Amino acid sequence: MSTNLLEVNNVHAGYVKDLNILQGINFRIAPGELVAVIGPNGAGKSTLAKAIFGLLTPQQGEIIFKGKNIVGLKSDKIVKRGMCYVPQITNVFASLSIEENLEMGAFIRSGSLDSLKQKIYTMFPKLGSRRRQKAGTLSGGERQMLAMGKALMLEPDLLLLDEPSAALSPILVNSVLEQVTAINQTGTAIVLVEQNAKKALAMADRAYVLENGCDRFEGKGIDLLNDPKVGALYLGAAFKSD
């Protein structure tokens, strides 16, 4: 029996019938791993995340989560199995407070949420000190932290993050990605779809480089970061690792 938490096997998927963006992609992540997914625009990175989370139904292939094929399952059922997804945009309820957003994140839980909320406030101190503030007034980086905190209210085994650093300033990019590492260090497995390829590879246990809907390269993050073929194709021809 496989020891992987998630396996994607020969998946073909897209948004229009008979026009697949993913062209037989393969992917795996073990419990507690941080796996980055990088590649040029249009390579299928976000499409892969959406297919895993049930927002797209593959035309072919299988997606195995905790030993069960979840192809065809709706997202709410996948959440109950221990997976959460943070989309790139529209990932918080702008009219609700920080605390109300966290409570919405725990929609399938019953009983007191106090200890869970405190856990999130400890991880994200800025959220704790401003818990009554409307989410719509937060900065881009703070919204991303709230979106991740909201997902963590369900204590998932697997967290899918779709471009968490998109449109953020360099300082906020570093802050958000540091929080991603901190979350992973608590034992949560993370699939990190990320446009900032160098930073993603540097922090990942393993990584996949996608091209035209296929997994072109796969390996340890640091190995791909120093691979001249990956550097020339995806990180700039003159790229040198720090």
Please state, for a pLDDT cut of 70, what percent of the chain lies above it: 96
Exposed / middle / buried, residue 25 (Cβ in 10 Å: 0-12, 13-18, 19+): buried
Q: Where are the domains of the chain?
A: 6-86+157-234
In degrees rounded to 5, what are phi and psi of residue 20? -85, 135
Tokens 């959220």 -> residue? 127
Q: Is pLDDT of 1 > 70?
A: no
Contact residues for 148 (Cβ-Cβ < 8 A; gap 6+): 86, 124, 159, 161, 164, 179, 180, 183
Contact residues for 31 (Cβ-Cβ < 8 A; gap 6+): 3, 5, 157, 187, 189
CATH of span 6-86+157-234: 3.40.50.300
Whole-number average pLDDT of the chain? 92
Distance CA 194, CA 43 (A): 12
Answer yes or no: are the C-beta atoms of 194 and 166 closer than 8 Å.
Answer: no
- pLDDT per position as a tens digit, 135-175: 999 988 899 999 999 999 999 999 999 999 888 888 889 99
Handedness of CA 192, 176, 163, 146 (dihedral sign): positive
Distance CA 83, CA 52 (A): 10
pLDDT score for 190: 98
pLDDT band at 241 (very low <50, low <70, confident <90, very high): very low
Q: Is pLDDT of 133 > 50?
A: yes
Q: Is pLDDT of 213 > 90?
A: yes
Six token digits for residue 184? 């992973």
Please state, for a pLDDT cut of 90, what percent of the chain lies above it: 79
The DSSP code for 135 is G
Distance CA 147, CA 152 (A): 9
The DSSP code for 94 is T
pLDDT score for 112: 87
pLDDT score for 172: 87
For residue 29, give the amino acid letter. Answer: I
pLDDT score for 238: 38
- pLDDT per position as a tens digit, 114-128: 999 999 999 999 899
Answer yes or no: are the C-beta atoms of 166 and 174 closer than 8 Å.
Answer: no
Q: Is pLDDT of 36 > 50?
A: yes
Integer Rg of the chain from CA: 18
